[in-house]
């Protein structure tokens, strides 16, 4: 009850994030835009990618690892593509710029693919995949993860990241279908959460350097994540890393900076976003009704013993969003303490 | 030795396939094009998708399930997109047309996305993803599989297929990186192969309707395939099915025809291909050298106990292609017998 009544609204959370970012040296408009996207991440239930990241971002800004006066430029451009230089801005600024450009281009060309270099961690993949939904477009987003936790299949050198993909598809009377997934069985954030809670991990998330299951998250540094489907997940991570990193002149492989361990070195993070205009293929209203029918078909499947419902990707996101719009965003006591310390250090009003 | 010396070259195999298709009623030029692609499937080691499929295709043609005089049309077009109506042609004709159109468009726009409806089984996904390589483009291909073997996560109604994805990326001095994967742990073809050989399947490929592991491939009809990464693979299959099927006005979900069981009903298969021009983002020659460096980095990783090398997706494909170019394409005795019967029935010269 007490914690519920203390839950900030997205607007309150956004204002708090913005004043911290401004105090750290980010320009007012940039801080407002980043804060809006970070608080949206919390609103949609991506707790590991919203305000939780603020102390880390501020530390990086203060260490000179982020450009506080960036000029985001287009380096290469064709009618349906662009390569953006993020000028080491906060990733949210780079990727929202990229998504907007992709949507603008796709309106005439039907599809657009915009890649970025010199970007940074931009929060949850689904944020950018969902932006094109407002224009009746399908969105697709891929990022090179901000730390390598995955070796090539059969190896032990951590050359790959969880390299997530998100795809968002609108419907008429249901929530959009939003897939947002790492190419590993567990995202590294889940390992950190297990460590914080003192819980063991299930077998299948990680192995150690001898190939044995690693279930103690406190020993996570001794092992690495496992890809989905074994060599298939390795293949997906490799391909996504090349498309989001190498193709854009961004870091991939040994060049990826572990932004959890290093707050100073420029990360040169790479990402790309694709906007696909539904109207180039179908009547958008009819298509959205067909996605309702996809919902209906999947939901109506008979159930496997031990399961009590079929869920569609994006269903939990929609439910959490509705709940948090109505009742605010829960902030765990330890996180609130860290945010209070941060606010005091920055000399701004607490959340 | 004997079997080795009997191995047909790709040219010999292609001519055999073409004369069978012509005898079955396919137009000469269409038969030659399809035969070239089918024999390429064998050449690159995709044994389950080449001449192996010929008896099934001929049966479908003879049953009226394929249009032998198709007119492949563009239904919708923007500068970077097209929606193709395959007019129920052989899938190889539809998808090679689509890939060529995508390459042509991407040359100016930078990226192009071409979707198809009223197509058919088109062989291995990698064939179409690899076509753009010849123009220094990256290729991407996704198909709705030609039979549903996968329920939504937690369900038992087979509403989804293995919906494969292929992505091809060129390098300078190494083979191209070619990922070609089903969204299930095992493709259904591997189950069929195990059944033919009388082998058991490992746990993790299939479960039965009670959720128990199914390892006897003779009982495959009693169960279903498992997706990679559990709900993640289900999510990928769902998204790929919508993008390749629903968006194109092609079959998805309950509308998918099991083309192994039914040779007459029009399948309305959906696929799409994306061509991404490397030159829109980077100097193509430099990029290909960077992919060589990706090869080098992955290959140089220390090894996990029990593994003796790191492989890249496409490495086996390249090795098999080289071997078969030099020594011909092995045709298993049972398959050769089936092809002899087919040739005799069609009144054409045997392989």
Residue-level pLDDT at A5: 62
CA distance B15 to chain A (A): 35
All residues at 6 or more sequence positions from A332 whose CB lies less than 8 Å from its CB, including other chains: none
Are A278 and B209 an interchain contact pair (Cβ–Cβ within 8 Å)? Answer: no
A vs B, Cβ pairs < 8 A, gives 244
From chain A, the residues in CB contact with B78 under 8 A are 108-111, 277, 280
Residue A142: closest CA among A48, A66, A245, A257: A245
My answer on whether B105 and B252 are in the same domain is: yes
Considering the domain architecture, whether residues B107 and B126 belong to the same structural domain is answered as yes
The verdict on residue B196 lying in a domain is no
Asked if the structure places residue A284 within a domain, the reply is yes
Hey, what long-range contacts does B40-43 have (CB within 8 A, 24 or more apart)? Answer: B40/B10, B40/B127, B41/B123, B41/B124, B41/B127, B42/B10, B42/B13, B42/B324, B42/B329, B43/B10, B43/B321, B43/B324, B43/B325, B43/B329
| A280·B81 Cβ contact <8 A | yes
> Using one digit for the tens of pLDDT, what is the confidence trace for B171-180?
999 999 999 9
CB-CB under 8 Å, B229 with A278 = no
Q: Domain of residue A33: give its range.
A: 1-62+328-351
**Which residues on B lie below 8 Å from A248 (Cβ)?**
281-282
Residues B72 and B22 in one domain: no
Contact A196, A185 (CB under 8 A): no
- A213-214 and B213-214 as β-strands: parallel, antiparallel, unpaired? unpaired
Joined tokens for residue B161: 């297929």
If asked whether residues B73 and B58 sit together in one domain, one would say no
User: What's the token pair of residue A172?
Assistant: 């008429």
Count of beta carbons in the 10 Å neighbourhood of residue B308: 6
Q: Residue A307: its chain B contacts at CB < 8 A? A: 154-155
A182-191 residues labelled b (16+ CB within 10 A) or e (exposed): bbbbbbbebb
Whether residue A349 sits in one domain with residue A241: no
Tell how far CA A272 is from the center of its chain: 12
**CA dihedral sign, ordered B27, B29, B33, B36:** positive
> B89 and B2 in one domain?
no
B272 burial (CB, 10 Å; 0-12 / 13-18 / 19+) is buried
Token digits of residue B4: 């080795």
Render pLDDT for A183-241 as a digit per residue (tens, 0 to 9). Answer: 999 988 888 888 888 899 999 999 999 999 999 999 998 999 999 999 999 999 999 99
Asked if the structure places residue B272 within a domain, the reply is yes
Stretches in chain B below the pLDDT threshold 70: 1-5
Residue B119 CB contacts under 8 Å (≥ 6 apart), including other chains: B84, B86, B89, B91, B94, B95, B250, B268, B269, B270, B271
Of A110, A155, A243, the CB nearest to B303: A155
Helix (H, G, I), strand (E, B) or coil at B64: coil
**What is residue A171's predicted lDDT score, i.e. its pLDDT?**
98
CA distance B104 to chain A (A): 14
Assembly ipTM: 0.96
Task: Tell me what pLDDT residue B196 has.
Answer: 81
Q: Is residue B162 situated within a structural domain? A: yes
Question: Does the distance separating the beta carbons of B177 and A239 come in below 8 Å?
Answer: yes
At B30 the pLDDT is: 98
Contact B76 A151 (CB under 8 A): no
Q: pTM for the complete prediction? A: 0.97
Rounded to whole angstroms, the Cα distance separating A72 from A69 reads: 10
Task: State the nearest Cα–Cα gap between B300 and chain A, in angstroms.
Answer: 9
Q: Do A110 and B80 touch (CB under 8 A)?
A: yes
Residue B229 and residue A181: Cβ atoms within 8 Å? yes
To the nearest whole Å, the CA of B3 is away from the closest chain A CA by 32
Looking at the fold, whether A58 and A86 belong to one and the same domain comes out as no
CATH number of the domain to which A167 belongs: 3.30.1370.60
Domain boundary pick from A283, A300, A317? A300
Contact B242 A109 (CB under 8 A): no
- Interface residue of B155, B187, B307 to substitute, partner A, most A CBs within 10 Å: B155
- Which residues of A fall within a CB distance of 8 Å from B302? 155-157
Q: Which of B76, B228, B291 sits opposite A229 (nearest CB)?
A: B228
Beta-carbon separation of B111 and A108 below 8 A: no
A249, A282, A304 ranked by CB distance to B282: nearest: A249
The answer to the question of residue B286 being in a domain is yes
Decide if A301 and B152 are in contact by the 8 Å CB cutoff: yes
Residue B132 lies in a domain: yes
Find chain B residues with C-beta within 8 A of A301's C-beta.
151-152, 155-157, 159
**What CATH number did the domain enclosing A7 receive?**
1.10.1530.10
**pLDDT score for A274:** 98
Task: Report if residue A191 sits inside a domain.
Answer: no
DSSP characters for B272-327?
EEEEEEGGGTS-HHHHHHHHHHHHHHHHTSPBPTT------TTHHHHHHHHHHHHH
Residue A289, in any domain of the structure: yes
A42 and A166 assigned to the same domain: no
DSSP symbol at A8: P
Residues A135 and A272 in one domain: yes
Distance CA A165, CA A241 (A): 11
Name the closest residue on chain B to residue A186, using Cα atoms.
B229
**Token match 């089903």: residue?**
B182
Low-confidence residues of chain A: pLDDT under 70: 1-5
Q: Which residues pair with A82 in a beta bridge?
A: A77, A114
Q: A296 and A338 share a domain?
A: no
Can you give the length of chain A in residues?
351
Give me the helix-helix angle, B10-24 and B54-62, nearest 10°.
Answer: 20
Write out chain B residues lying below 8 Å of A287, CB-based. Answer: 246-247
Distance of CA A259 to the CA centre of its chain: 15
Cα separation, B232 vs A67, whole angstroms: 36
Query: For residue A324, which of A46, A52, A53, A44 has the smallest C-alpha distance?
Result: A44
**B235–A79 C-beta distance less than 8 A:** no
What tokens does A13 get?
A: 């959370």
Q: Are residues A43 and A72 in the same domain?
A: no
Q: Are residues A87 and A180 in the same domain?
A: yes
For residue B90, the SS3 value is coil
Give how many domains chain B has, as a whole number.
2
CB–CB contact A110 B113 (8 Å): yes
Instruction: For residues B87 and B67, give the distance between their C-alpha atoms in angstroms, rounded to a whole number.
Output: 7
Q: Residue B169's closest CA among B281, B288, B279, B282?
A: B288
């Amino acid at each position: 009850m007490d914690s519920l009544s203390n839950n900030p609204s997205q607007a309150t959370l956004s204002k708090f994030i913005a004043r911290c970012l401004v105090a750290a040296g980010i320009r007012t408009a940039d801080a407002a835009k980043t804060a809006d996207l970070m608080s949206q991440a919390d609103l949609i239930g991506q707790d590991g990618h919203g305000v939780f990241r603020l102390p880390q971002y501020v530390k990086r800004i203060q260490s000179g690892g982020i450009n506080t006066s960036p000029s985001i430029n287009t380096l290469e451009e064709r009618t349906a593509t662009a390569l953006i230089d993020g000028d080491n801005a906060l990733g949210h600024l780079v990727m929202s710029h990229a998504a907007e450009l992709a949507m603008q281009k796709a309106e005439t060309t039907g599809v657009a693919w915009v890649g970025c270099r010199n970007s940074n961690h931009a929060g949850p993949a689904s944020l950018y995949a969902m932006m094109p939904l407002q224009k009746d477009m399908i969105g697709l987003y891929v990022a090179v993860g901000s730390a390598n936790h995955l070796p090539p299949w059969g190896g032990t050198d951590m050359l790959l990241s969880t390299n997530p993909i998100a795809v968002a598809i609108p419907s008429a009377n249901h929530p959009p279908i939003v897939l947002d997934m790492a190419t590993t069985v567990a995202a590294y954030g889940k390992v950190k959460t297990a460590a914080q809670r003192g819980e063991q991990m299930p077998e299948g998330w990680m192995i150690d350097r001898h190939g044995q299951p690693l279930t103690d998250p406190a020993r996570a540094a001794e092992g690495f994540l496992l890809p989905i489907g074994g060599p298939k997940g390795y293949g997906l991570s490799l391909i996504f890393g090349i498309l989001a990193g190498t193709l854009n002149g961004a870091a991939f492989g040994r060049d990826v900076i572990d932004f959890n361990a290093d707050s100073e070195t420029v990360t040169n993070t790479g990402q790309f976003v694709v906007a696909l205009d539904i109207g180039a293929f179908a009547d958008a209203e009819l298509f959205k009704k067909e996605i309702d029918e996809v919902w209906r078909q999947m939901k109506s499947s008979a159930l496997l013993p031990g399961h009590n419902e079929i869920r569609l990707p994006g269903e939990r996101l929609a439910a959490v969003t509705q709940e948090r719009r109505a009742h605010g965003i829960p902030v765990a006591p330890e996180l609130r303490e860290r945010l209070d310390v941060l606010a005091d250090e920055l000399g701004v009003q607490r959340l």
